[in-house]
Amino acid sequence: MDHSHPQIADPIPPAVAPVTGRRPETPQFTDDPMVDRLYGMTMALVAELAVTRARLDALERVLARRQLVEGEAVDDFVPDAADAEARSRLYTEYLERVLRPLE
């Protein structure tokens, strides 16, 4: 079985139109603004991972209870071109949220 992923010319497409206006002031917790930005980025990652884990747990439990997925179906999944493009968009949006404190 071919497990290669479809090739996309630009795997990380440009973001949607940038938000205009002033960004709210970033709270300062230390004397070093870069450390504060790294804290912000870390907390964004923590929030993203917490939501992802909760949704994944719920999805796996629903699928198991309804016996809709066989053992290796998730591990063997290969996205088609449309799925790969959608994942790429989600990944770009995710990176924008996580890296926002560094901007």
Give me 33's structure tokens: 């603004």
Q: What is the pLDDT of residues 41-63, one digit of tens each?
A: 888 889 989 999 999 889 988 99
In the chain, the largest separation of any two C-alpha atoms, in whole Å, equals: 55
Q: Which residue has better confidence, 68 or 25?
A: 68
Q: What is the pLDDT of residues 92-103, one digit of tens each?
A: 998 888 888 777
With 80 as the cut, is the pLDDT of residue 24 above it?
A: no
pTM beyond cutoff 0.75: no
With 70 as the cut, is the pLDDT of residue 23 above it?
A: no
Q: 38 to each of 29, 35, 98, 100, how far by Cα in Å?
A: 11, 5, 10, 10
Which pLDDT belongs to residue 55?
A: 92
Which pLDDT belongs to residue 85?
A: 95
Which pLDDT belongs to residue 8?
A: 52
